[in-house]
Every structure is written in C-alpha cells, then in structure tokens.
Amino acid sequence: MNNEIRVRFAPSPTGYLHVGSLRTALYNYLYARKTGGKFILRIEDTDRSRYVEGAVENLIETLQAVGLEYDEGPDKGGDFGPYFQSKRTDIYNKYVQELLEKDAAYHCFCTEDDLKKMREEQIAKKMDVRYDGRCRNLSKEQVQENLAQGKPFVIRAKIPDEGEIVFFDIVRERVSIKWETVDDQVLIKSDGYPTYHLANVVDDHLMEITHVIRGEEWLSSVPKHLFLYQALGWKPPKMCHLPLLLNPDKSKLSKRQGDVAVEDFLKKSYLPEALLNFVALLGWHAQGDDELYSLDKLENEFSLKRISKAGAVFDVEKLNWMNGHYLRSLELGYIAIKAKSFFVEAGLDISDNEKYLKIVDVTRNRISTLAEITEVATPFYASLKYSEEDRQIINDENSQKLFSFWLDNLKALDSITEENINHLLKQSTDKLGIKGKDLYFPLRLALFGSVHGPELPVIFDILGKEETIKRFTKILDLK
C-alpha cells in the first residue's frame, strides 16, 4: 500500500440519490482533490431485495450532472475492480471462510420465526433487542449435521460479549462502545450474498481505502467493522462520521417532510453549483465567514478538521438565496442554455437569440430558481392582462396624457436608445408635470403589465420600437 489518499462513495442502488448521500460524495470528492488522492465510486448492491432497476445509471448521471467526477468506478474501471459488490461474492466467501476457521464467525440456523419470538420476548422483558447468540456454541458436529440436512443458515460475526472497544473518529474524536451492546452481525445472508458490513470491510481493505467518510448513522457499526479488521489481521482506515441532516424542526431529514432527492432539486431547476455550495456547508465551515464557494474554491478550502459534530439544518430558504446568487453571477450564456427548456415548455419564442439573451439577463435578477423564469419573462412575449386596480391607473387622466405623449414621440424616433428614453422621461415631467409613481407605474403597466418590473430603458430595449408602439396603442384603446 502506498501513501496515496484513497476515499470512496459507496451507495446502494435503491432509488434516488438523497441529499445526505450527495454531501457524503462531495466531502469524499473534496478530500481526494485537496490531498491529490483518488475518489472511487463503488456500488453496494448486495441487498437484492432493495435493488431498483436503473438506479445505478441514475446515480451516475446525477453525480455527473453536479460535476463530481470519480477516478475509478463501474463505468471507468481501475486497478481494484470490479466496482459492483454483487460481482465480488467469491472474494467475500474466501474471507468469511477465514473468519470461520479463526472462530471469529459462526453458522446460525435460526429461522425467521425463531428470531421473531426472540425479539418479542426481549421487548416484553424490556431488554435490548439483539441476537442472543443461541447458535454461537454449536459443536462442529451439529453444524455439519445441519448443513448436511440442507438447513438454511446465515453466517454471523462472533462479537466479544464483554469489555469495550475504543476508537478514534476524526469528527467524534475518542469513541467508546461496550461490546455487550453490539449485535452478532450477519455477514453472509441466507441467499449467499454478504451484508454491507462484511463487503464494506473487505472492499475497503482490498481497494486500499485510507479514509472512510460517511454519515453519522454508521458510527454504531464501527465496532463490528473493527472486529473484522482485527480478526483478518488488517489495518483499518481512518474514520470520519458526518453529522445528521435535520429538518427545521430538528427532526431527521426525511422524504415525509419534503424533497430530499438530488434529482428532485435538479428537476426543479436548482443549479448544480448552488446545490453543491449549499450542501458543502451542511456540517462544514471554512476559516472565514464567506458562504459562497465554487467547486474549485471548495477543493482548496476543504478540511476534515472543520466538520462539526452538531446536526445541520437543511434550510430551503437559504438554498433559494444561494441559487439566486448563482443565477445572477454565472455566465449569461450558461444560464441561457439552462433556461431554454423552460421557455420552450411555456411556448415562448426564443428564435431571436439577441432578444432571448436580454430577457434571460434581466429576468434572472428577479428569481430564485429557473422554474420561475418564464413567469417573469412572459410579459415580454404575451398580451398583457390587467386587474381592476390596474385599470384605474390606466384610465386616470394623467396616465392617458402620458400614453399619448409617449406614442407620438416614439413614432418620431429612428430607434430606441437608453439616452432618448431617459430624455422622454425627463420631458414627461417637464412638459406634463407627471413624476414619481404617477410616471413610472402607468408606463410599466402599458409595457410590462405590472407596476413593478425591470427598469424602463431595459423594457423598451427588449421590446423594441415596433412592439412598444403597439402596446401604447393598445392601452389607449382600453379606455
């Protein structure tokens, strides 16, 4: 084993990619990039009952969509494959046999009914629910007889039943867990597939993983894993367990309380840059107070030492704010490409690329997500609709004078520029005595359908001379 940092993201293909899993992938990716190491994608698909068709492809597409490129994985290969655990069963069987020979594991012939009764009895007695070890001390003859009879079995780890295990976690620091609270974990299931716990340990060792960076929910499993490392004579990787993600009410983040799938956020048009920035700050903080980080900047700033122990609240309002920042600050052409599908779906004509870019540029300043962009952009395309309150402003005597003044003067212009629009605004005050909201509200209503909107020179520029004349003519006809 060399000194290269090697980390892995090892999801199960059970459906969507949870935002918590995205954070795990991101922190692994960032640590690998910061240290010049390798980031590996490994698919933990040994639980065939939970396997979802197409989930692997969706997972890979989602990682690519947010820009997390891995160095080794199912579709990239590498020196440590295969990267699907379901294709490594022979490897696991070899090591489970070694554990049996070392008396670190044993055959368990308990049926589902046996286990159900055992759990019910423990609950009734208010005991911790865990396997009681009834098959731990079967003789070799009993085991062979059961196997000869074809009795179904699993293979369990023979966890010590007294004392404690102490280990160091990068986030939790010193952790102590009593062995009596640790279950005799199943290593090989009755279908012959390994559990996560065995496959995880074997693969992390053989793939030379140096740091295991994963969610806090796995902290209680560390004793089971360290037991296996010790039994097999292997040096364990360093451990780093990330804090829980929480809802605003401090409950664990779950789909019951809203979106938790990365795919859902991408479909709702959140930018990958904003999503990564937001997720990066869920449990990690930089040295300064800055909250806006590109992926490149995160790669430079990231440190495992600044991961917090406390749970991190998933605040959608903050995500919206952050996404709005990226909509305004990223290159216009990039945002325009991202926005196209929304314009097409809304039936808005984007054939005039110059006009389209101007509309995207002005509307991106008024939205939090791209899903909102067509609502803001539609007034530049469609016939305007007015409320009764709007009509009162439109039908006001001064408003009508204003519309006629602008219509006459626009017809006389060769073209519309910011300079001549500002000149006409000044003339509207000087010659008609109209100013303030009595000036701006009617003009915006005539051209944009709302008293609030972009700056007037911007609206005129996007609509052009011909369309603005049409709109003033039409609003005069409304009276």
Residue 326 lies in a domain: no
Check residue 286 and give its pLDDT. Answer: 85
Check residue 477 and give its pLDDT. Answer: 82
Indicate if 150 and 211 belong to the same structural domain: yes
Check residue 128 and give its pLDDT. Answer: 85
Residue 319 lies in a domain: no
Written as one letter, the residue type at 96 is: V
Check residue 257 and give its pLDDT. Answer: 52
What is the distance between the alpha carbons of residues 199 and 96, in angstroms, rounded to a whole number?
10
Check residue 378 and give its pLDDT. Answer: 95
Indicate if 184 and 93 belong to the same structural domain: yes
Rg (CA), the chain: 32
pLDDT tens across 184-225, in order?
999 999 999 999 999 999 999 999 999 999 999 999 999 999
Indicate if 97 and 120 belong to the same structural domain: yes
Residue 278 lies in a domain: yes
Residue labelled with tokens 């984007």: 350
What is the distance between the alpha carbons of residues 407 and 186, in angstroms, rounded to a whole number?
82
What is the distance between the alpha carbons of residues 391 and 185, in angstroms, rounded to a whole number?
73
Indicate if 128 and 234 belong to the same structural domain: yes
Check residue 2 and give its pLDDT. Answer: 67
Check residue 217 and give its pLDDT. Answer: 93
pLDDT tens across 299-358, in order?
999 999 999 999 999 999 999 999 999 999 999 999 999 999 999 999 999 999 999 999
Residue 396 lies in a domain: yes
Q: Which residue among 242, 263, 287 closes a domain?
A: 242
Domain containing residue 144: 88-242
Check residue 255 and give its pLDDT. Answer: 60
Check residue 288 and give its pLDDT. Answer: 80
Q: Which residue among 220, 242, 264 closes a domain?
A: 242
> Beta-carbon neighbour count of residue 179 at 10 Å?
14
Indicate if 268 and 366 belong to the same structural domain: no
Indicate if 97 and 234 belong to the same structural domain: yes
Residue 29 lies in a domain: yes
Strands 245-246 vs 186-188: parallel, antiparallel or unpaired = unpaired
What are the structure tokens assigned to 267, written together? 């479909």
- Whole-number Cα distances in Å, 462 to 15, 284, 358, 359: 44, 43, 7, 7
CATH code at position 376: 1.10.8
Q: Which residue among 226, 242, 258 closes a domain?
A: 242
Cβ 348 vs Cβ 361: under 8 Å: no
Indicate if 349 and 415 belong to the same structural domain: no
Length of the chain: 479
- Whole-number Cα distances in Å, 371 to 249, 268, 358, 374, 457: 27, 6, 18, 7, 26
Check residue 115 and give its pLDDT. Answer: 94
Residue 440 lies in a domain: yes
Indicate if 235 and 95 belong to the same structural domain: yes
**pLDDT > 70: what percent of the chain?**
98
What are the structure tokens assigned to 424, written together? 């006409």
DSSP per-residue string spanning 83-98: -BGGG-HHHHHHHHHH
Indicate if 297 and 277 belong to the same structural domain: yes
Indicate if 441 and 348 belong to the same structural domain: no
Any catalytic annotation for residue 255? Answer: yes
Residue segments in the chain with a per-residue pLDDT below the cut of 70: 1-2, 255-259, 479
Residue 162 lies in a domain: yes
What is the distance between the alpha carbons of residues 156 and 224, in angstroms, rounded to a whole number?
11
Cβ 96 vs Cβ 155: under 8 Å: yes
Indicate if 113 and 221 belong to the same structural domain: yes
Structural domains in the chain (count): 4
Residue 121 lies in a domain: yes
CATH code at position 258: 3.40.50.620
> Beta-carbon neighbour count of residue 45 at 10 Å?
22
Strands 6-9 vs 154-157: parallel, antiparallel or unpaired = unpaired
Share the mean pLDDT of the chain. 94
Q: How far apart are the first and last CA of the chain?
A: 83
Query: Given 255, 437, 470, 479, which residue is catalytic?
Result: 255
Indicate if 409 and 439 belong to the same structural domain: yes
SS3 177: strand
What is the distance between the alpha carbons of residues 204 and 233, in angstroms, rounded to a whole number?
14
